[in-house]
Amino acid sequence: DIQMTQSPSSLSASIGDRVTITCRASQSIGRDLNWYQQKPGKGPNLLIYTASNLQFGVPPRFSGSGSGTYFTLTISSLQPEDFATYYCQQSFGSLTFGGGTRVEMK
Amino acid sequence: QVHLQESGPGLVKASETLSLTCTVSGGSISNYYWSWIRQPPEKGLEWIGYIHSSGSANYNPSLKSRATLSIDTSTSQFSLRLSSVTAADTAMYYCARVSTTVGANHYFDYWGQGILVTVSS
């Protein structure tokens, strides 16, 4: 299995902050990397697909980049509704998710 | 807007078989892959498998021996059966639609609200 490692596992930030979450793959996965946001009690919501493509309806403050083994999700200016847990997911091999990054209010 | 709804028993006895159904509405079930993903309490996400409307399926190797997916396009439903369950199978189970890119990236663009299944001893 391809292992996906997210960092940090949690972070504290303030409204307006620029936030970056990283996701590393145990082997090269090209650009087969997707990002999701999950709020408590809800199913995940797709934010970014194929490393950098913004899903329809997702605010442009979210962006993704990377290829190979290193990927990032950036929130350019954190909003109150962005406090949530974020997951990366690869589909190069058998589908696997990262362990998640919890974004909390400072 | 595609809508997915999970249904099934919320309590299953250990060693028995977990059975869940996902009903798709607001869009066609045809020509897509459909998936099950689970999330144990306070833990991360685990992909179980996906099935195409044609009936071909692909499974997480760690669950392949116990999981079976099926699909009924006439009722716009697909199902999961997970045999010989243990307490480790206690989780929120989500169904989701799988979309793919030309480069074969698979991602989950519509999700159900989830159903909590508890395995009791």
B113 lies within 8 A of chain A by CB: yes
pLDDT of residue A53: 97
| Per-residue 3-state assignment (H helix, E strand, C coil) for B1-52 | CCEEEEECCCEEECCCCEEEEEEEECCCCCCCEEEEEEECCCCCCEEEEEEE
Contacts of A3 in chain B (CB under 8 A): none
DSSP state of B59: E
CB contact under 8 A, A42 and B113: yes
For B104-116, what is each residue's pLDDT tens digit? 899 999 999 999 9
pLDDT of residue B108: 98
Q: Nearest residue of B to residue A101 by CA position?
A: B44
For A9-43, what is each residue's pLDDT tens digit? 999 999 999 999 999 999 999 999 999 999 998 99
Q: Token digits for A35?
A: 């990002």
**Contacting residues for A79 by C-beta, under 8 A, at least 6 apart:** A15, A59, A61
- Is the per-residue pLDDT at B19 higher than 90? yes
Pairs of residues, one from chain A and one from chain B, whose beta carbons lie less than 8 Å apart? 65
User: Contact B15/B85 with Cβ under 8 angstroms?
Assistant: yes
B103 lies within 8 A of chain A by CB: yes
pLDDT of residue B104: 83
Contacts of A44 in chain B (CB under 8 A): 45, 94, 108, 111
Over range A70-80, report the average pLDDT.
98
User: What gap in Å lies between CA A14 and CA A83, rounded to an integer?
Assistant: 10
**Contacting residues for B72 by C-beta, under 8 A, at least 6 apart:** B78, B79
CB contact under 8 A, A50 and B111: no
pLDDT of residue B102: 78
pLDDT of residue B105: 93
User: What gap in Å lies between CA A7 and CA A23, rounded to an integer?
Assistant: 7
In this structure, what are the phi and psi dihedrals at residue B66, rounded to the nearest 5 degrees? Answer: -115, -15
Helix or strand or coil: residue B92? strand
Q: Nearest residue of A to residue B102 by CA position?
A: A50
Contacts of B45 in chain A (CB under 8 A): 44, 87, 89, 97, 100
B41 lies within 8 A of chain A by CB: no
In this structure, what are the phi and psi dihedrals at residue B72, rounded to the nearest 5 degrees? Answer: -130, 100
Distance from CA of B111 to the nearest CA of A (A): 6
Instruction: Tell me what percent of the residues of chain A surpass a pLDDT of 70.
Output: 100
- Is the per-residue pLDDT at B103 higher than 80? no
Please report which confidence band the pLDDT of residue B89 belongs to, taking 50, 70 and 90 as the band edges: very high
Higher pLDDT, B103 or A1: A1
User: Contact A44/B108 with Cβ under 8 angstroms?
Assistant: yes
Contacts of B67 in chain A (CB under 8 A): none
How, if at all, do strands B11-13 and B115-120 pair? Answer: parallel
For B27-63, what is each residue's pLDDT tens digit? 999 999 999 999 999 999 999 999 999 999 999 999 9
pLDDT of residue A93: 87
Please report which confidence band the pLDDT of residue A3 belongs to, taking 50, 70 and 90 as the band edges: very high
